[in-house]
Amino acid sequence: MKIGIGSDHGGYELKEYIKEYLEQQEIEYIDYGTDSFDSVDYPDYGLKLSKAVISGEVDKGIAICGTGIGISISCNKVRGIRCALCSDTYSARMSREHNDANILALGGRVVGKDLAIEIVSTWLKAEFQGGRHERRINKISDIEA
């Protein structure tokens, strides 16, 4: 599994922390920026990450901004992206099992580092259950079309 990760300046510190976790777990990743605390626009990084997920360059993505709200909205504007903003492990698991979320959004100024790692770990381990949930995902795709 290859993960894409991207953030704006508000998510930069948490992004770097999550990258350390991914390295410890020997999970391959591509960092789509940003590379500092300098102010940048979250839609730019949400778009880079979303395009990488849609193209198959990465299997899933993790998007981070200050609250996670702006970058999740940006990611969800890309057809085929199902980005879930999660601040707890239950929502993270359900976003994969029921919603087949392909990008996890986190708030770097909202979620503590240790909780963020628990959320990421839970999200990466969870798998889409299909079944009745597949029908619902197809309806979302119909809305996009």
| CA atoms of 98 and 110, how far apart (whole Å) | 24
112, exposed or middle or buried, with CB in 10 Å at 0-12, 13-18, 19+? exposed
| Residues annotated as catalytic (active site), given as ranges | 65, 98
The secondary element (H helix, E strand) that includes residue 84 is strand 83-85
Provide the token pair at 19. Answer: 């990258």
CA–CA dist 3, 145 (Å, integer) = 26
CA atoms within 13 A on the CB side of 22: 23
Contact of 116 with 135, CB cutoff 8 Å: no
